[in-house]
Amino acid sequence: MDRYAAILLVAVGTYLIRLLPFFRKEGTGEGMERVLKDSAAAVMAALWISSFVSLPLEGWPLVRDGLALLGVLGSYLLWRRMGVSVLVGVGLHALLSLWGG
């Protein structure tokens, strides 16, 4: 249940960050525009990585998580598509979880 609460909290925070420019009368500056543009992707990446990394970091789970992250990196360098990279990472993590137990 705690995981669902964390996902809900991150989702609400992401949408609130996106709504911030609508509540400012003078608009946003260039620096704030960059922060707002990149913040949603950063929050989603942090949520995604924290959902795959299991603590404590030892043995097979560490190898599995590292290989999945390498799959994400490799597929991004190959195709330059964030969505495809996430799908590759999720699929690789699922296959390694089934294979390694």
Q: How many CB atoms lie within 10 A of CB 89?
A: 24
pLDDT tens column, 4-52: 777 778 777 777 777 776 666 666 566 667 766 777 677 677 767 766 6
Q: What angle do CA 69, 41, 75 make, to 5 degrees?
A: 35
pLDDT tens column, 53-82: 666 767 888 888 889 889 988 998 999 887
